[in-house]
Amino acid sequence: MRFQLTTCLLLIGSYFTIAQTRVENPTDSILAQQLDEVIVTATRTERQLSSLPLPVTIVGKKQIIKSGSVRLNEILNEQTGIITVADESGFQGVQIQGIASDYILILIDGVPLVGRSAGNFDLSRLTVGNIKQIEVVKGPSSSLYGSEALGGVINIITEKPKTEALTGNASYRIGSFSQQDINLDLKQAFKKFRYGFFANRFSSNGYDLNEDVEGNTVNPFTNYTLNGRLYYDFNDNLSLFASGRFYDQNQDAGFTLDSIQYQGDTKEREWNAHTRLDHKWTPNLTMAYELYYTNYIATELLADPISTAILSDSDFNQKLFRPEVRGSYTFSSKNNTETTGFQNGTLTAGIGLQLDELDRTYFDKTVNFSSQYAYAQYDFDPIENLNVIAGARFDNHSEYNNQFSPKLALRYQLNDNLSIKGSIGYGFKAPDFRQLYFDFTNSAVGYTVLGYNVALDKLKELEEQDQILNVVVTEDDLSKPLEAESSIGYNLGFNLKHGQGNTEVNFFRNDFKNLIDTRIIARKTNGQNVFSYVNFDEIYTTGFEINSAYQLTNDLNISAGYQLLYAFDKQKKQDIKDNQVFVRDPNNGQTIALSQTDYFGLVNRSRHNANFKIYYDIPAAQTNLNIRLLYRSKYAQFDTNGNGLIDNYDSSFIDGFVTVNAAASKTFYNNFTLQVGANNFLDYTDNNIPTMPGIQGYLKLNYQF
């Protein structure tokens, strides 16, 4: 039934995309906006989206506003091939081409954000109130961005002031669970000076999905975001950009257990400071000198109100400092190959230093990483209609082996309507602080988790305390450096323009090696285990995506998207082939060898994802309507039968489901817009999906000036 629904959505989308309706003088539609949008993340230079040889998704401001989204996770979850997944802390990270959130780099105005205390970067930390556009590059991007860009890059671009008149907006939105979102955005440009100021307050009373379990699913919280941006043009060739951002959240962490109300709270605080000097030395040469600093702090305190004993007290304090110098040189048509040795194109290169520091509970001391890097990329057209991007980056890191990350991408324009493109790239992710320095013992259960770099010393301490029964690895196993995780990604696709429509298809394959996972390194006298980390997993994700959009009339735009995904562990597949994986048949209780068809794949991966969207404007009434249907097929959250993989006999599957998001906006007196909408309009809930509390209606009033 679910698969039939997916097929229906695709057929509907295909029907519209091959329709031959002609449109005279089209208006500024979402489709036209996306095709003409300029993107910078994929190449670090300005490129039109439709000309790129890489798989890229762009979400513009108009689409964000019309959808009624207020946080980054909401709008990204509606894009083809992008799924938001919550970790054990409830943080919502993003999955791209089946690649987990840990391997997706998050940027704001081209600089990285930090604060992955549990692995995921929590996308709900980011408001979309002052975003110009969101750029998503799919597949390995380490050739430009280094570690954590193994699976892709998401870059949030804020708006730049354009006019001398004071412009901006103020908005208030109230929704289910007393959710409130308040925005103030101001922008102004003078002859040489521009500024922007943005403030946001976001709060909720929380909600409870399971009344049979004491405590809320999500506790009440309030957060604030402040962002100031300054631009100064010294002259036509020299300009300065400076930005400061502050984020603060407080959330009630208390809960009730056995009629006792435990008290506590969690706090998050983030600072970002970013300056960049852009210098145009010649008409062909532009340099950028950049300094960036960020600090993310998270604390959690939980106490017993009767004994006042501290049940949990944890701290996470991460800092990053990064200076970078980069430049772009354009070889114009006047500089032919006889004089320069280069075809027409742009050479981009940069060098930088990155200093990371983390002080957190369960670390013996504050730990530091340092790395130096250099990258270069050449974007050129060797022959007519062929665009080639070739680049590479070298990273020298204090904690793991040097990394060399090449990438090659090509795009060929077959005719005015059809182009093909392909790319191959290498990506890597450095072992993180937790995997190297963690020292945690669960006081209730008794197991221990040790970071790789401290495992040997900590094991000796536990042995001296007579807590170790036996060690199951050799000293050599913990002496070699932990390798960086790596991948090679392949993408091949085409772009077809048809009348007032556009269809893009992309086939992808990502092969990973040296993935880091936990393993048992010793057994304790209390019957529990000591875990550490090791390189051993080899996995792959493969499939294809199709996106199709069509402008039926001046005011009616529709789009449809679908992703087919296969994600497997290579060693698990081999073990099954060798008849080494078993499962108990629930029908007869017998133990049987698992077959290849029973192996479902990696956790939290759905085989099918689809979306269908309709945007309709009524200019005479200054009204717009939209509806977005999202489908996700079944997936499993964890292994329940103990054989170490997800198979059809596991019981943690979430059945496939459809969510419907809708919004309607009406503008009056030219400056005021009233929007009413609802996410998850079908009121879908599942106790095992804490981020879906049923229908979420809202009402928003916006004043544009």
Q: Are 677 and 65 in contact (CB under 8 A)?
A: no
* pLDDT tens-digit series, residues 597-628: 999 999 999 999 999 999 999 999 999 999 99
pLDDT of residue 513: 93
User: How far apart are the C-alpha atoms of 105 and 18, rounded to whole Å?
Assistant: 36
Are residues 360 and 314 in contact, defined by beta-carbon separation less than 8 angstroms? yes
Distance CA(700)–CA(75), nearest Å, equals 17
Output 521 or 399, whichever has higher pLDDT.
521
- Tell whether the torsion through CA atoms of 579, 580, 583 and 589 is positive or negative: positive
Q: What is the reported pLDDT for 261?
A: 66
Q: What is the structure's pLDDT at 536?
A: 84
In this structure, the strands spanning 529-551 and 448-450 are parallel
User: Who's near 439: CB < 8 A, 6+ residues apart?
Assistant: 362, 363, 364, 449, 450, 451, 454, 458
- pLDDT above 50: residue 15: no
Radius of gyration over every alpha carbon of the chain, rounded to an integer in angstroms: 26
Dihedral, CA of residue 533, residue 84, residue 495 and residue 157, to nearest 10: -100
How far is it, in rounded angstroms, from Cα 350 to Cα 352?
7
Residue 488's CB: how many other CB atoms inside 10 A?
17
Judged by average pLDDT, the poorest of 130-144, 299-313, 443-457 is 299-313
The band of 89, judged by pLDDT with boundaries at 50, 70 and 90, is low
pLDDT of residue 196: 97
pLDDT, tens digit, 9 for 90 and up, residues 444-477: 788 999 999 999 999 999 999 999 999 998 888 8
Q: Is the pLDDT of residue 137 over 90?
A: yes
Whether residue 7 is predicted with pLDDT greater than 50 in this model: the reply is: no
- DSSP letter for 327, please: E
Q: How far apart, in whole angstroms, are the C-alpha atoms of residue 469 and residue 525?
A: 5
Q: State the DSSP string of 373-427.
A: EEEEEEEEEEETTEEEEEEEEEEEESSS--EEEEEEEEEEE-SSSEEEEEEEEEE
Residue 19, pLDDT score: 38
Neighbouring C-beta atoms of residue 12, cutoff 10 Å:
15
CA distance 431 to 485: 7
Which carries the bigger pLDDT value, residue 691 or residue 455?
455
pLDDT score recorded for residue 32: 45
Res 373: pLDDT: 97
What are the phi and psi torsion angles at 565 (to 5°)?
-135, 135
Q: Is 70 exceeded by the pLDDT of residue 336?
A: no
Identity of the amino acid at 424: I
Q: Give the list of residues 6+ apart from residue 539 with CB closer than 8 angstroms, or none.
A: 512, 515, 567, 568, 569, 570, 602
The confidence band for 255, taking pLDDT boundaries of 50, 70 and 90, is low
Which one is predicted more confidently, 312 or 49?
49
Between 89 and 630, where is the model more confident? Answer: 630
Give the pLDDT of residue 170.
97
Q: Write out pLDDT tens, residues 152-193.
A: 999 999 998 989 999 999 999 999 999 999 999 999 999 899
* Res. 36: pLDDT tops 70: no
Those residues whose C-beta lies under 8 Å from the C-beta of residue 471, and which sit 6 or more positions away, are: 459, 463, 521, 522
pLDDT at 309 over 80: no
pLDDT for residue 688: 82
Give the number of C-alpha atoms closer than 13 A to the C-alpha of residue 332, restricted to the C-beta side: 5
List 389's β-bridge partners, or say none. 379, 409
Q: What average pLDDT score do residues 629-653 get?
A: 92
Q: What is the pTM of this model?
A: 0.89
- 3-state SS assignment for residue 589: coil
What is the mean predicted confidence (pLDDT) over 126-153? 93
The pairing of beta strand 104-108 with beta strand 152-158? parallel
Reported as a pLDDT band with limits 50, 70 and 90, residue 573 is: very high
Residues with Cβ within 8 Å of residue 252, at least 6 apart in sequence: 206, 219, 220, 221, 264, 265
Q: Is the pLDDT of residue 35 over 50?
A: no
What pLDDT, on the 0 to 100 scale, is given for residue 461?
Answer: 93
395-415 pLDDT, tens digit per residue, is 998 877 889 999 999 999 999
Is there a contact between 231 and 208 (Cβ–Cβ < 8 Å)?
A: no
Q: How far apart are alpha carbons 319 and 292 in whole angstroms?
A: 11
As a whole number, the mean pLDDT across the chain is 88
Instruction: Give the model's pLDDT for residue 11.
Output: 37
Q: Looking at the predicted structure, is the pLDDT value of residue 479 above 90?
A: no
